[in-house]
Amino acid sequence: MIDFKSTLKIALNSLKVNKMRSALTSLGIIIGVSAVIIMLAIRTGANKQVQTNMESMGSNLLIVRSATAKSGGLIGVIAGIIIAFLIGALFGTNIVITISPILLSFGFSGLVGIGFGYYPAYKASLLNPIDALRYE
Q: Kindly list the distances between the CA atom of residue 35 and the CA atoms of 22, 28, 42, 45, in Å, as whole numbers in the listed order.
A: 20, 10, 10, 15
Question: Lowest-pLDDT range, 30-34, 79-83, 96-100, 110-114?
Answer: 110-114
Q: Where are the alpha helices (DSSP H) in the chain?
A: 4-17, 19-56, 66-91, 99-125, 129-133
Amino acid at 97: I
Q: Is the pLDDT of residue 57 over 60?
A: yes
Average pLDDT, the chain: 78
What digits encode the pLDDT tens for the residues 16-51? 888 888 888 888 888 888 888 888 888 888 878 877
